[in-house]
Structure 1
Amino acid sequence: MPPVKRASTNLHPTLTLGDALEHYASWPRPTVIVSDGAYGVSGFPGDPPTHDGLAAWYAPHVAVWSERALPSATLWFWGTEIGWATVHPLLEQHGWEYRTCHVWDKGIAHIAGNANTRTLRKFPVVSEVCVQYVRKVLLESAGVRLPLKTWLRHEWERSGLPLRQTNEACGVKNAATRKYFTRCHLWYYPPASAFEQIAAFANAHGRPEGRPYFSVDGKRPLTGEEWATLRAKFHCEVGVTNVWQEPAVRGPERFKEDTRSIHGNQKPLKLLDRIIRASSDPGDVVWEPFGGLCSVAVAAFNAGRRCYSAEIAPTYHAVASRRLAKCAPQPRVEISAA
C-alpha cells in the first residue's frame, strides 16, 4: 500500500456501538459502502439461519443506502453466492446497478477438514463473493426520468440538431456519434470537457424554445464538474481480475483470544484496500455499517479516506476500538444511546 500523507485529523475513523440504522442520518454521504453483514449461516446473533431471511434483514439498510449515497457511490456487497443472489433483487429494486461479481478464492488450505463431501454431496467451498454495485442515476428530460446514457441523447435530440453535429461540438471526426451518443452497449461516458462542449453547442445552436438543454433545474445546463459527479469512481489496478486469490487471514493480522479467532470471517486488509482505492479518492467518505473488527476502517484510514463504522456487538466493538486506537490515534468512539 503506498503511504498517504494525512494533513488533517478529520480522517480519523468514527466507530459507534449500536445499530447503523440509528446513525446513518448523522454520517456524511458516502462515496463507498462496504457491506459485510448477514450471510444467512447463523454466523452471529441475528444472522438468519438460511439465505431465505436475508432480503428482509437487509431491506431497511438498503433503503437508507439508496437515499443517502452520493450519485458517484459504489457498494461492495460481501456474502455467500446464494446469499448475494437472494439480496440482488432488493438492491436492483432500490436503484443499485450490478457491475460485476468478484470471487474471493481462499485457497485449498481453507478446507481444513471442514467439508464431508459424502454427507454434504458437493465439492468443498473455498470462496465467497464481493459484488460491485453502482447507483442507477436518473435525470429528467421533458418530464421523463431517464438513465444518463438515454438522457444525454434525448437532450441532444430535443435541441433539434442533427446527430452528426455532436462531432462538430466536440471537435472530433466521428468519436461523439460513435461513443458518446451510441445506443449500443459500447457507450462511453463523455468526460467533463466534452460534456461542456456538447451542452454549450446545443444551447447556442438548438431550438430557442427548448433551452436550456442538458439542465436538471430548467435554469442552466449542468457544468462539466457536476456531470462528472454523476458517475461512480473507478480506478483499475493493472493485473487485477474479478478472481482474488488470497488466503484467509492468518498470522499477526488475525485477531485471536488465546488460540481461538475472535471473528470467524475477518477480511484481509489487502482486499479491502483494493476495493476502497478502486472506487474512491483520498478524503472521500466510506461507510462500514456492519463493523465487526472494523477492517474496513483500518484500510480506509491507511488509504486516506474517512470511515464511519457501526458495530452492534459489544465484544467486537471493544476489540475494534483498541485496533483503531493503534492504527489511528484518537479515533472517535461513540456508544449508542438506544
Structure 2
Amino acid sequence: MSALTDTLFTMLTDVNNAHIFTGDALDGYAEFPTPNCIVSDGAYGVGGFPGDPRTPEALGEWYEPHIAEWSKRSTLATTLWFWNTEVGWANVHPVLVKHGWKHEFTGIWNKGIGHIAGNVNGKTIRRMPVVTEVCAFYTREPRLPLTPGGDDIVHMKEWLLKEWKRTGMPARLANAACGVKDAATRKYFDQGWLWYYPPVEVMEKLVAYANEHGDPAGRPYYSLDGKAPLTADEWRSLRSVWNHEHGVTNVWDRPALRSKERYKGSMVRSAPRTHTPSATSASHLNQKPLDLMRRIIKASTSEGDVVWEPFGGLATASVAARELGRLPYAAESNPHFAELAADRLAEAVSEPLFA
C-alpha cells in the first residue's frame, strides 16, 4: 500500500517524520517551517518535464518566484545547494545574487567516462562529451538593519563599524576590548574585501565593552531588537553551519546511478518528455545518488535542522536528511512521484527521529 492516500493535491503529508507537499512548491512554502538548508534540484532548461524550459536561457525567470520565496522565508543562517547544468546555473546565478544569496563554491559531480560509453558517435559529435553536473553552494549575504526592525539594511561589516562609532569611542578601543594589538580594527571593522566575520567569543567582547564604556544615552549597542545587547547564541544563529570533512574537495567522482539504488517502476509515456512511472524502467530521469545528498546535507546542517527540497521528484535529499536526523520538507507537483517519494521515505528510517 502506498504511503499516501489518493487525495494528494495541495496537501502536506507527514510520512515517517518527513513531510511531502503534493502540489506546486510555491503553494507549499507557507506551510513549511523556516529552512536551515534548501536543496534545489528543479528545472534544467532541457525540456525534461512539463514546464521545464526547452533552453536554459529562460531558467532565471522560471526560478525567480521560488528564489524570492526562499529569500523571504530564510534566515541569515540558511544555506542553499543548487543543482543544475553548468550553463543552467550560469543563467540562474544573477537572480540568486539579486535576492541576497552569496556564492561560496561550486561542487562538480563527475560521472566519469562510463556515463557516455557507447552513447557517443565520435564521427558526428562536435564537442567534448559532458559527464558533469554542478551543485553550487550559497549562503545568505550577511545584512542587518542599522536601526533594529528598520528598513535601513546594510552589510554586516558596515553595521559593526557604525554601531561602534555610535558609542562615541574611537575605533582603536575595539582592540583593547578584544585584547589584541590591531586585529579587531584591521579585521572586523574593515570595509573592504579583507573583512572577517567576528567569531562568537570576539563578538561577546565587543558587545560587552561597547555597552559598558559607550555613551549611556545610546545603549543598548549591538542589539537586534533595540531592547537588549545581542547574546552569544543570537550571534551564533546568524551564521550558517559548516561541518568540514577533511579530504573532500569540490570535485565528486561518482558514477551515475545504475545499481539497485536506481529507483524503478513501469513507465508509461503519455506524451513526449512526459513520464508517468510504472514497472521496469528508471522512474526518474535524473535521480541523484544518496551519498552525494548525504554529503552536502551533513556539511551544512546540524541534527534536527529543517531541510527543504522544493522540487522533490523521488525526494532523495529528503531521504538523506531523514537518515541524518534532520527534518525534511519536500514538494512535488506530480502525484505519482509524490507517492514514490513517500514510499522511499517510509522505508528510510523506521525509528523515531529523536530518542
Q: State yes or no: 1:226 paired with 2:231.
A: no
Question: Paired residue for 2:317?
Answer: 296
Question: Paired residue for 1:212?
Answer: 220
Cα separation, 1, equivalents of 2:221 and 2:58 = 46
My pick for the range that moved more, 16-25 or 250-259, is 250-259
Cα separation, 1, equivalents of 2:335 and 2:177 = 59
Match 1:282 to one of 289, 303, 312: 303
Counterpart residue type for residue 203 of structure 2:
F
Q: Which has the higher contact order (CA 8 A, sep 6+)?
A: 1
Cα separation, 1, equivalents of 2:351 and 2:192 = 51
For residues 145-177 of structure 1, the C-alpha deviation after alignment (integer angstroms, 9 at most, x for no partner) is 211122112211222322222122123344323
Alignment of 1:137-216 (within 5 A): 137-141=142-146, 144-216=152-224
Cα separation, 1, equivalents of 2:175 and 2:286 = 52
Contact map agreement 2:311 2:332 (CA 8 A) in 1? yes
Question: Paired residue for 2:257?
Answer: 249
Question: Paired residue for 2:100?
Answer: 95
State the TM-score, normalized to the length of structure 2: 0.85
Q: CA RMSD, aligned part only?
A: 2.1
For residues 22-78 of structure 1, the C-alpha deviation after alignment (integer angstroms, 9 at most, x for no partner) is 111011100000000000011112111111221221121111111111220001100
Counterpart residue type for residue 247 of structure 1:
P
Q: Secondary structure at the match of 2:260?
A: helix
Question: Paired residue for 1:335?
Answer: none
Cα separation, 1, equivalents of 2:124 and 2:60 = 29
Alignment of 1:52-131 (within 5 A): 52-116=57-121, 118-131=123-136
Question: Paired residue for 1:322?
Answer: 343
Cα separation, 2, equivalents of 1:112 and 1:262 = 22
Question: CA offset at residue 105 of structure 1?
Answer: 0.8
Higher helix share: 1
Q: State yes or no: 1:237 paired with 2:245.
A: yes
My pick for the range that moved more, 215-224 or 127-136, is 215-224
Match 2:141 to one of 136, 139, 162: 136
For residues 238-287 of structure 1, the C-alpha deviation after alignment (integer angstroms, 9 at most, x for no partner) is 01111111111221111123552111111111111111111110000000
Question: CA offset at residue 119 of structure 1?
Answer: 4.0
Question: Paired residue for 1:310?
Answer: 331
Cα separation, 1, equivalents of 2:88 and 2:173 = 48
Question: Paired residue for 1:31?
Answer: 36
Q: State yes or no: 1:43 paired with 2:51.
A: no
Identity over aligned residues, as a percent? 54
Cα separation, 1, equivalents of 2:206 and 2:122 = 60
Contact map agreement 2:103 2:139 (CA 8 A) in 1? yes
Q: Secondary structure at the match of 1:23?
A: helix
My pick for the range that moved more, 158-167 or 223-232, is 158-167
For residues 310-336 of structure 1, the C-alpha deviation after alignment (integer angstroms, 9 at most, x for no partner) is 1111232222121111113499xxxxx
Question: CA offset at residue 117 of structure 1?
Answer: 5.3
My pick for the range that moved more, 46-55 or 209-218, is 209-218
Counterpart residue type for residue 133 of structure 1:
Y
Counterpart residue type for residue 198 of structure 2:
P
Question: Paired residue for 1:336?
Answer: none
**Number of residues of Structure 1 aligned to a counterpart in Structure 2:** 323
Contact map agreement 2:16 2:345 (CA 8 A) in 1? no
Cα separation, 2, equivalents of 1:126 and 1:236 = 27
Q: Secondary structure at the match of 1:37?
A: coil
Question: Paired residue for 2:5?
Answer: none
Unaligned runs of 5+ residues in structure 1 are 1-8, 332-338
State the TM-score, normalized to the length of structure 1: 0.89
Counterpart residue type for residue 304 of structure 2:
G
Contact map agreement 1:11 1:283 (CA 8 A) in 2? no
Match 2:20 to one of 15, 23, 26: 15
Q: 1:280 to 1:198 in 2, by over 3 A?
A: same
